[in-house]
Amino acid sequence: MRAQTLENLIAEYLEQVKKSTDLLEQVFGTKNILSLWRSKKIPQRGKVADDVTYELHGIGCRVYLSEICVDFDYGPDERVDGFDAWRLYLYACETPLKYKKYTNKESLEREFNAYLKKGKAKKVEGSTSNLYFIQP
């Protein structure tokens, strides 16, 4: 089992987002299904597989996998590898046995801000997105 660190929480969250968006792509032909919903080609909520459903909201999507709910926003240029403190908090609350420390929002935000100060993640320059992306 992974250690309870912010890096591991981010890595696992992004793995689950990738798993979710790969499923969306298999079914709908694209990872970003917002435009399909907005053009009324698909409903706001629906089924992806037997035990997987989705629910679109604002600029993001919630995918209910059999074992967990993953909530993410689409980033600039349809990126799906972004995150923010709120999404990480929601994910930690979905996995409280694994990431109990991060089910405390204030504690997570403190550590997240320190992580950002170290330059490990940044927003996309010129973008209005609230998401951060890991820096190479």
What is the structure's pLDDT at 119?
94
Q: CA 136, CA 44: separation in Å to the nearest integer?
A: 35
What is the structure's pLDDT at 135?
87
Q: CA 19, CA 97: separation in Å to the nearest integer?
A: 21
β-partners of residue 72 are: 61
Q: What are the b/e assignments for 74-97, b being 16+ CB within 10 Å?
A: bbeeebbebbbbebbbbbbebbee
The pTM of this model reads 0.94
Low-confidence stretches of the chain (pLDDT beneath 50): none
What is the structure's pLDDT at 1?
59
